[in-house]
Every structure is written in C-alpha cells, then in structure tokens.
Amino acid sequence: MADKKIIAVVGATGAQGGGLARAILADAGGGFAARALTRKPDSDKAKELARHGAEVVGCDTDDAESVKKAFAGAHGAYCVTNYWEHFSVDREMAQARNMAAAAKAAGVKHVIWSTLEDTRKWVPLSDDRMPTLMKRYKVPHFDSKGEADGAFRAAGVPTTFLLTSFYWDNFIHFGMGPKKGPDGRLALTLPIGDKKMPGMAVEDIGRCAYGVFKKGGDYIGKTIGIAGEHLTGAQMAASFSKALGREVVYNAVTPEVYRSFGFPGAEDLGNMFQFKRDFEDYYCGARSLAVSRALNPALLTFDGWLAQHKSQIPIE
C-alpha cells in the first residue's frame, strides 16, 4: 500500500465511483490503491469494498473539513456528486467547491471531475425551445455540473473534466426500460426522435476513469467524453427485442410530452433529451468511442451490456 498511489474515490459505494474502485482493486499490480469515501463506513457496500482491499474512510462532501481529511495523502481524487439525492443545484455546486478546495489543500496531483455540459452555452435562457427551470437553468443537473467546472479551475487543481454518458443501467434502476403500452406491446419511450444518443454501462465509467489516472498527466487540464455506443431509439429497441426474445418497439414522444410525465425530474430529463436530440453532432462528437475504448479495452457495447443484464430489466 505504502508504495502505491492512493486514489480517493468519492461515491465509491455508488455506481460511478464503485466502478473505479473495483477497477483499481482488480489491478493489483497497477500501482494504485483505492480509498473508498462514504458517509456510511459501516454499510454493506463499504464493507464489501474493504473486503476486496479498499481503505474505507468516512467523508461527507457537504462538510468541507471532512473532505480535506479524506483527501489528505492522496495522489488522485475522483469527484462526483449525486444530484438525484436532493434535486438541489446549489447543494451540488457547494459539494463541488468543497471537493475542489480539499484537493487544493491536500495537494492532490490529479482530480477527475465527473461533469456534464452547461447546456446554457447552447441554449441560453432566452431561447424558448425548452422551458427555463428553477429560474436559472435549462437542464439543472447538467448545468450545475458544467458550472462547477469553474470551481476546479478557480482552485487551481490539476483536473480532468470527464463528460459521462447516459447509463444503460437506467433501464434497470431509473424506470426507463421498455414498458407495456395500451396495445400490449413493449415500448421503449424516449424523446430523441431519430437521433443517436451516447450511452454506456455505468461500470465502464469507472474503468475509463482508471484509464485516465493510468495515463498520468496526459489528460490534465482537458475535457474528455466517454461512451460505449451512440445509438438511436430504434436501434436500442431492436437490441432489446433480440436480447429479450420479445418485440420491443421504439415510442418516439416529443420532449413536451416527456416533460409532462410528472415524475420527479421529468422536466429536467425532458430538456436533457431535447438537448441531446437538438445538438446530436456536438453531443456525440464530444464522446469518442475510440478514446473510450483506448482508456478501457473492456468497454461494453449495448448488446454486450444487455447480455449481462437482461434478466435484471423489470418488465411488467
């Protein structure tokens, strides 16, 4: 452990950070050690990481001092926020500022900030193609992360800005999978028209992040985007049909209809999908499959992800 470079992993008990922690732990000779940060060191997930060799350290990103202590002595830090836990842009940005300040104070040599686009650079608040939400945002959970890029720059920490992609795992955990329609057929409902959307297995985000740390300083100061594939709704529906052995049709609704679905975050997600649809060239272009595969040769395709996870997809 002493001769290994410690990576402090925020969110190690979650999806993104968990993938990174597992990638580090699986590569015993790779020269890195995983420090798993969590608010609940006694949880089963934390204990599982410890069993596999991670150092588990208590940390709450709402508490600046606890992050400083947790980052002390680390070579690298993976910084992620969980907007969906609280739906607060201000809290997400404060957490990012706490992590940036802690990385600076601890002299961390390489931070990866898990970010997304500030969509207001493409769709200013005055653009009424989509509603402005919370008075200041178009896609709150994207805009806050993009705005928080500035916190890492202002703190002067060596940072890689990692643009992630839609998790295919949302089809399992986020209620976005195929559902039976009034005609009894399974339908995949998305408001992206005939455009391609970058997606990936969430486990691959961590594996790609590990690839970034292994490249040393190559990506410091840079923004890189990752994805497993860029696929249309129709292509994803066709893959579902093949994997599930049942017809799945693509139900292309408008973003207006998606925003009206009424579940928590529906307007935010409706705007998000519209952004991806309306700026397909930029959005796919910013997430290179070749770069992702170079960072992580195990990168899954959608069919590969389905082969591993099809039994977990809830279908009524």
Ligand X SMILES: NC(=O)c1ccc[n+]([C@@H]2O[C@H](COP(=O)([O-])OP(=O)(O)OC[C@H]3O[C@@H](n4cnc5c(N)ncnc54)[C@H](OP(=O)(O)O)[C@@H]3O)[C@@H](O)[C@H]2O)c1
Residues of this chain that bind ligand X (CB under 6 A): 10-17, 38-40, 43, 59-62, 80-85, 141, 164, 166-167, 170, 174
The C-alpha atoms of residue 202 and residue 165 are separated, in whole angstroms, by: 9
Angle at 176 between CA 123 and CA 38, to 5 degrees: 85
What DSSP designation does 301 have?
A: P
At 290, is the secondary structure helix, strand, or coil? helix
> Which residue is at the shortest CB distance from ligand X?
14
Structure tokens given for 243: 């994997």
- Identity of the residue, 45 or 185, whose beta carbon is nearer to ligand X in the bound complex: 45
Answer left, alpha or beta for residue 135, where phi above 0 means left and psi between -120 and 50 means alpha: left
Quote the least distance from Cβ 143 to ligand X, whole Å: 11
Q: Which residue lies nearer to ligand X by CB, 3 or 144? A: 144
Q: Which is nearer to ligand X, 168 or 219 (CB)?
A: 168
Query: For ligand X, which is the closer residue by CB, 90 or 247?
Result: 90
Residue number with CB closer to ligand X (25 or 31): 25
Reading the block at residue 79, the tokens are 């910084």
Q: How far is the CB of 81 from ligand X (least distance, A)?
A: 5
Neighbours of 110 (CB within 10 A): 23
β-strand 76-79 against 186-190: which pairing, if any?
A: unpaired
Nearer to ligand X, 185 or 235 (CB): 235
Cα separation, 296 vs 288, in Å, equals: 12
Q: Which is nearer to ligand X, 28 or 312 (CB)?
A: 312
**Shortest Å distance, C-beta 277 to ligand X:** 16
Got the DSSP string for 96-137?
HHHHHHHHHHHT-SEEEEEE---GGGTS-TT-TTS--BTTTB
Instruction: Report the alpha-carbon distance of residue 129 to residue 15 in Å, rounded.
Output: 33
Work out how close the CB of 183 gets to ligand X at its nearest, in angstroms, rounded to a whole number: 28
Structure token digits, residue 179: 């559902």
| Least distance to ligand X, CB of residue 21, Å | 10
Shortest gap between Cβ of 190 and ligand X (angstroms)?
A: 12
Considering the complex, what minimum distance in angstroms separates the CB of residue 75 from ligand X? 20
The torsion angles phi and psi of 55, rounded to 5 degrees, stand at: -85, 120
